[in-house]
Structures are given as C-alpha cells and as structure tokens.
Amino acid sequence: MSAVQFLGILRRCGEGSGQRRGDNDRCLIARRCWVMSGTLVPRPAVTLRRAEILLHGREVTVNWREGHVRAEPENGYGPRGDFGSQQRPTLGIVALRIPNDECEVDHDVDLIKKFGYVSVGVNDLEEATEFYSRFVRLDLTERHDRTAFMTGGPEHHWLRLEEGGQVGVRRLAFELVDDAAFEVVRQRLRAYDIECEEGGDTAVEGVQRWLRFTDPGGTAIELYRGMKERGFAPDCDVELEQLLHAGWKTADFAATTRFYQDALGFRPSDWVEDNAGFFRVANKYHHAAAVVSSDRPAFDHLCIQVGSLDDLMRLRSNAQRSGIKLRSDLLRHAPSGSISIYMHDEARQYAVEFCIDHPTIESPDYSPRILELAPDTIDMWQKPLAEPRVHAVREGITAIV
C-alpha cells in the first residue's frame, strides 16, 4: 500500500520561505526536499528508501543513485535521486508517493495552514447572531434551520452556531495545507489509537471535506479543506483582519502538547513554564493555538486580529457602552507581544480576544523560549516601575530624577 506523503509546490527560484541565499537553482518542495537543477534531495532528518514522484498528478521517473536516498547532514545533501533529463520538472505541483513501510517520517512539515473556525452550541440562535453581529462585527453568511454561519473575512465562516444541545464551544477547526495532509493525519491518528470521522458537504456545511477526532486532552478537533468563500472583501466599519487563534485548557498538558507537535506538526513558539504552550502553523503567526494546563478541559477564547489600535478601541468602546464585560482590558502579552482586549461572551462562557501587533516567526532557526509564569508575562505592562530615586540637590531642597 502506498500513500502520498508529501505534496508541495515546486516554486520558481526566489519564491518560498525555504529559499537559501545563494542557491539560485534550488527550490523547496514541501519543506523537506530540494530540487537542484532537476535533482531531488531529501532534507536532513528524512530518509527515503523508495519513492515515486508525481508531477501535475502524473508519475515521472526518478533514478535513485544508490538504490536509496538518505540525507546526510554532515556531507551536505548526501546521495541524490535524479530526474531523467527528459523529465525535469519546471513549475507545478509535485508530490512524493512513498510506500508506507519505506520511509521514516519526520515531523518537520506543515500540515496545518491556519486556525479556521469554531463550532459553538447556543441556546438561542437569534441572541447569538445578534451578539456576534453587534459586538464582534461578524456578518451572517448563511443560515439553515438551527445553524448559522458568520464571518469577518472572505471565508464562508469563522463561526458555526448550532442551536440546541450542549452550550459552548463544541469543536475547533483548522485548515489543512493540502489534500495530501488528510492521509498523513489519518496515519498519525492511527499511531495514537485515535479514531476519526470523515465527511464534508459544501452546500450544507460550507466545507468540502473534513476529518474530526478528539485530542488526548478531550478537545474535539476538525481538520478541513475547501471552505466556500465570498467573492468580495467585507465592508466593515472596523477592520477585522483574520481569525487568528484559539486558546483552550487541557487536563493533560504533556500528552496534549506532545500530540499537537507529533501528530499535527505544530511548532512551539513559546512556553510559559509547564503551564502554557503557544504553537504556530504554516501561516507563521506566533500562535494558532494556545494550550493551557488545567484540572479539566475547557475552551478559553478565540482571537481576531484587527487592523489598528483605533479598531481595537472602537470595539472596546462599543462593547462597554452596551454593558458587555471585558474579561481583561488592554494588555500586552509577553509571548507574542500583541496588544489585546478580551470581550466576555457571558452566554457561552468564554472570551473573544481582539488583538493587534501579533507577529510572525520567519526564521527557521527560531527556538521557543521558556517564560516565567508571572503577571508581567501575561501583561508586560504590569511590570512594576522602579522606585523614584531621590537625592539632595541643595541643602533643604530635594529633587526626583
């Protein structure tokens, strides 16, 4: 049995985050294999003994020089597999089809593109759509019976509201980088003994294909591809740039954070001791997920990045004028450096965070920090100022400098 393990875009030289300075003819495939003038070379830490190359969905021949390919970091790139001279790829979609038992898979590959949407159970759909229209400034894009979809961007939904049943967040959804990632995730879930369900219906759910499971900490997760989009940019009086991340609590912090790294390719951006982990995905924002240690699993917040401080302050003012509570007022987080407010959704018992200045991490050499669990890690502005220094400048007169 074989499976498409890696899929990527063979980019024009000079494009792509993996480009190495000075390597004019080297392009990156799927963050782990290089093409050098038609030569495919696995990156270090990837071992391939046998593989088939697909270009635009058609198989092309690769002659491995030594019957197998193994990257040897100490020797640069090690033995190489060559495309036949008549079959050198130009630009396009390239995939490696690798028999399951013929490769050792590392975890240095992006499977998740971004945080996509939240599925929320509500008591009263009218109340919930009113709250998210008026205070979060989302548009209602579609409604079927007791389900409503709302968004702040071109995507069909950032929020799926379902009336009836359990109230609160029911599922967190992340978008996969490509269709091949479904099979990779399926294999890794099998290794974890985690069962998954698959489906998708563009007309009813706004999503073409999804895979759902429960993570080791008890949080329901969906990975999807093919969300419908609106063909126009939303016309809002505040600029909602994107749905950025979710924050949730887990009762098994070690197992949960290990799972997201091993099975889903999340990369740690920062840790707050062994209390919180911040993980980024392919879009490189400091975190698409914030996982916090707790005595029981619970959803904590979703975060929307807005365009400016003015947008943030108008949302804050709009909420306060109507008596909507802020769980936390203006603060600057030490891990990401972003400035945020947290609007409390009292009916659902979690918060909607609005933030600005959330950075991306571009360097492949970035190492996560371990930050102290302290008030000024949560809010850098809480760091106490030093005592004023007082000294005599003239007899009988003091000054503060």
List b or e across 338-361, with b for residues whose CB sees 16 or more CB atoms inside 10 angstroms.
bbbbbbbbeebebbbbbbbebeeb
- CB closer to Fe ion, 89 vs 247: 247
The bridge status of strand 289-293 relative to strand 240-250 is parallel
- CB closer to Fe ion, 83 vs 248: 248
Strand partners, 339: 332, 356
Distance CA 332, CA 355 (A): 9
Distance CA 371, CA 266 (A): 19
- CB closer to Fe ion, 5 vs 293: 293
CB of 248 to Fe ion, least distance (A): 10
Residue nearest to Fe ion (CB): 303
Q: How long a stretch of residues is the chain?
A: 401
Distance CA 356, CA 97 (A): 41
CB of 331 to Fe ion, least distance (A): 11
**Location of structure tokens 């900490």:** 217
- CB closer to Fe ion, 95 vs 240: 240
Distance CA 101, CA 357 (A): 45
- CB closer to Fe ion, 87 vs 328: 328
CB of 198 to Fe ion, least distance (A): 30
Q: Which residues bind Fe ion (CB under 5 A)?
A: 247, 303, 353
- CB closer to Fe ion, 71 vs 246: 246
- φ/ψ region of 295 (left if φ > 0, alpha if ψ in -120 to 50, else beta) reads alpha
CB of 183 to Fe ion, least distance (A): 31
Distance CA 277, CA 286 (A): 11
CB of 312 to Fe ion, least distance (A): 14
CB of 267 to Fe ion, least distance (A): 17
- CB closer to Fe ion, 141 vs 269: 269
CB of 355 to Fe ion, least distance (A): 7
- CB closer to Fe ion, 177 vs 303: 303
Closest by Cα among 342, 289, 287, 347 to 320: 342
**Location of structure tokens 């369900």:** 197
CB of 311 to Fe ion, least distance (A): 17
The bridge status of strand 267-272 relative to strand 369-371 is parallel
* Torsion angle of the four alpha carbons 367, 370, 374, 375, in this order, in degrees rounded to the nearest 10: 20
CB of 371 to Fe ion, least distance (A): 15
- CB closer to Fe ion, 174 vs 182: 174
- CB closer to Fe ion, 46 vs 352: 352
* Residue 211: how many other CB atoms lie within 10 Å: 20
Distance CA 253, CA 251 (A): 6
In one letter, which amino acid is 192?
Y
CB of 127 to Fe ion, least distance (A): 25
Distance CA 261, CA 268 (A): 8
- For residues 286 and 361, the answer to whether their CB atoms sit within 8 Å is yes
